[in-house]
Structure 1
Amino acid sequence: MLRFLLRRTLGAIVIVLLISAITFFLFFALPSEPAQLACGKNCGPDALALINENLGLDDPVPVQYWHYLVGIFAGRDFDIGHCSAPCLGYSFRNSQPVWETILDRYPTTLSLAFGGAVVFLVIGVSIGMIAAARRGTLTDKFFSSLSLIGNSLQIYFVGTIALWLLVDSWGLIPRPEYFPFTDDPLRWAGGMLLPWLVLSIIFIANYSRMTRSQMIEQLNEDHVRTARAKGMSGRTVFFRYAWRGAMAPIVTIVGIDMGSLFGGAMVTEFTFTLHGLGRLAVESVAEKDLPMLMGVMLFSCTAIVVANIIVDALYAVIDPRVRLA
């Protein structure tokens, strides 16, 4: 297990470095001048040259990238002050520290992604298990049809309709708004309930179909038939043998879907006007704010890669047939 974690950690570092390098160099390939963005429209040549010097933008791009990497681990000195490690620079738009801005926005995205994942896993896996247990019946056909409909829906469409019906017209759900969990857990859950449901719709459809197919496959395995032949109850066979074997592929897809979950969170944040990392990333792209964009990219990629490592390590816990060496 230790060798596996070390190997995956080294691979994760390489992946994050490659993504950061590609993002950094592609930014400078755009037909725009970062110093002009930081200075504003009414900016003279002298002020522009001073900003280039203070931000290190007059250095070659590879040198700037090296200074950026060094700043993450050792900090950097800018004209506006010292940036302590992990230093991700200052925003071109408002001169705010990137790291502090990310820490301020991240709880919203974490709440949205975590709550949405819990909702679509609980509902999606449950529907898939019911459909597999009642294979070929009207219940199975109903849930299969429902999953196809859910898979064809889009977050921005469902979110707008749900906001109009459930909040504005009927008043069944509180208006979506982020509140810190530590301040009021009930208010936090109430403000995120509708975004959770909307974000999880497409994932529920995918995971219900996947769980159904995996459960049916496991129920036809030799060890499951042997358990039945030994006289074990149907409930024991279903949950102890079939369900546990079916969960390993589901856990794998959860790790792969971390990127899709972040993309869905981005659209959901715009739909419900939530100020999280997804919204911050889109704003940074629109305003060509390299430090903020780089910070969001590095933070998100690291979180996704770490989640994938944890998911892979859970294999040995869920399925004893898996050996990590």
Structure 2
Amino acid sequence: MLKMLILRIIQSIPVLVIVGAVVFSIAVALPGDPSLIILGENAPEVERQRIRLELGLDRPVLVQFGDWMFKAVQGDIGKSYKTGEPVVSVLAARIPVTLQLAFLSMLFAVVVGVPLGMIAAIKRNSWVDAVVSVLSVSALAMPFFWVGILLIMLFTLKLRLLPPFGYVPFSEDPVQNLRFMIMPVLTLGSAYVALVARQTRAAMVQVLSSDYIRTARAKGASELRVVTVHGFRNALVAIVTVIGLQFAGMMGGAVVTETVFQLPGLGRMITNAIFDRDYGLMQGGVLVVVLGVIIVNLLTDMAYWLLDPRIQR
């Protein structure tokens, strides 16, 4: 397992370099001048040139990229053009919010989606299977912002149970933090419930049609043991695959969800950085997102190794 982990880490280094180059190139190609962001639209040309010299924007693009990557390896990914804060400090404040949103949303998707998928597979071609399929397709078809607005109308305007916007760190007030996070988690998690349920159903249907399942039933094993021990355990690899991929892909939904509910997370920060032409913050944010995707993929590979003895051999 250690050998596999080291190999995956080595393979991830070129990915980080390539993504860093792409992000840096996009930032350079975007219209706008960082000196205008720092000094304002009416700043004199002399001051603008001074800022460009200080930021190193007068140098060739390859030199700028090499300098940025060299500093990034040392943990310095630049400063925000708009506020002057180190990007690392801004990310440290935003990452916990997005991680909590993604983790709770995926937990909700797994807790609800896996049982629904298993029930649909067991009751294949019945009305239960049809209902689960219809609900899954409906959840996938609804945009995140529309689901968020519906939840605000229901839980805030009608029932007056939950606050519509805002965020309180979990360390300060756990109860209030969870009250603020309920609707964002339901919004982001709803589509992933459908994805997990559909994947679980497909994996379980395939497994329950296998020869060893028929053998287990012929030996007199109870249906509960056949489904949970023999069936679900062998379907876990496919389920873990979709969970790992969707957890890494949650950033797109997190951007919309954080914007709707005004959460100070990483996705909203990157969006604001793009609109503000804050290239330093945008580059650092995207680099952290890519690093998170790589880490999730590594954890998924480790889960394969633990779940499937064939991979260990």
Q: Pick the TM interval, shorter chain.
A: over 0.9
Asked if 1:8 is matched to 2:30, the reply is no
- Residue 251 of structure 2 corresponds to 262
Matches within 5 A, 1:233-252: 233-252=222-241
- The offset of 1:178, in angstroms, is 2.2
Aligned to 1:182: 171
AA of the residue aligned to 2:3: R
TM-score of the two chains, using structure 1 as the length reference: 0.92
The residue that corresponds to 1:80 in the other structure is none
Alignment of 1:196-211 (within 5 A): 196-211=185-200
Aligned to 2:34: 34
- Match for residue 60 of structure 2? 60
Q: State the match for 1:125 in structure 2.
A: 114
Asked if the contact 1:35–1:57 (Cα under 8 Å) also holds between the matched residues in 2, the reply is: no
Q: Give the secondary-structure state (helix, strand or coil) at the position aligned to 2:217.
A: helix
Return the offset for 1:34: 2.5
Moved more, 103-112 or 138-147: 138-147
* CA displacement 1:88-144 (0-9 Å, x = unmatched): 111111211111011111111111111001001111111111111222222222112
Which amino acid in the other structure matches residue 5 of structure 1? L
Q: In 2, are the aligned partners of 1:179 and 1:188 still within 8 Å (CA)?
A: yes
Cα deviations across residues 158-181 of structure 1 (Å, max 9, x unaligned)? Answer: 111110111122123343432222
Structure 1 residue 185 displacement after superposition: 2.4
Q: Distance in 2 between matches of 1:156 and 1:231?
A: 50
Q: In the alignment, residue 192 of structure 1 is paired with which amino acid?
A: M
Aligned to 1:95: 84
Structure 1 position 72, deviation (Å): 2.1
Letter in 1 for 2:174: P
Which has more helix, going by share of residues?
Answer: 2
The 2-side partners of 1:35 and 1:11 are apart by 37
SS in 2 for 1:257: helix
Counterpart for residue 23 of structure 1? 23
Measure the CA separation in 1 of the matches of 2:46 and 2:18: 35
Deviation of 1:307 after TM superposition, in Å, equals: 0.7
Q: CA RMSD in A?
A: 1.5
Question: Quick one: which amino acid aligns to residue 216 of structure 2?
Answer: A
- Residue ranges of structure 1 left out of the alignment (5+ in a row): 75-85
In 2, the alpha carbon distance for the partners of 1:168 and 1:107 equals 29
In the alignment, residue 93 of structure 1 is paired with which amino acid? K
Q: 1:73 and 1:136 mapped to 2: Cα distance?
A: 54
Q: 1:47 is matched with which residue? A: 47
Report whether the alignment pairs 1:287 with 2:289. no
> CA separation in 1, counterparts of 2:128 and 2:31?
57
User: Would the alpha carbon gap of residues 43 and 21 (structure 1) be closer, same or farther in structure 2, given more than 3 Å must change?
Assistant: same
Equivalent residue pairs, number: 313
Deviates more, 1:118-127 or 1:62-71: 62-71
| 2:286 paired residue number | 297
The letter for the 1-side match of 2:7 is R
Q: Tell me if the contact between 1:176 and 1:193 (Cα under 8 Å) persists in the aligned partners.
A: no
TM-score by length of 2: 0.95
2-structure distance, mates of 1:309, 1:151: 27
Match of 2:99 in 1: 110
What is the rounded CA distance, in whole Å, between the counterparts of 2:25 and 2:276 in structure 1?
A: 17
Q: How does 1:150-165 map to 2 (within 5 A)?
A: 150-165=139-154
**Contact 1:90 / 1:292 at 8 angstroms: preserved in 2?**
yes
Check whether the contact 1:177–1:192 (CA below 8 A) recurs between aligned residues.
no
Q: What residue identity is the alignment partner of 2:208? A: L
Say if 2:202 is the partner of 1:213. Answer: yes
Alpha-carbon displacement from aligned partner over 1:189-214 (angstroms, at most 9, x marks no partner): 22101110111111111211111111
- Contact kept, 8 Å, 1:176 with 1:195, in 2: the verdict is no
- Matched-pair contact (CA < 8 Å) for 1:176–1:194: no
Partner SS, residue 85 of structure 2: coil
- CA separation of 1:202/1:42 partners in 2, compared to 1, >3 Å: closer, same or farther? same
Distance 1:131 1:56 in 2: 59
Q: What is aligned with 1:314?
A: 303
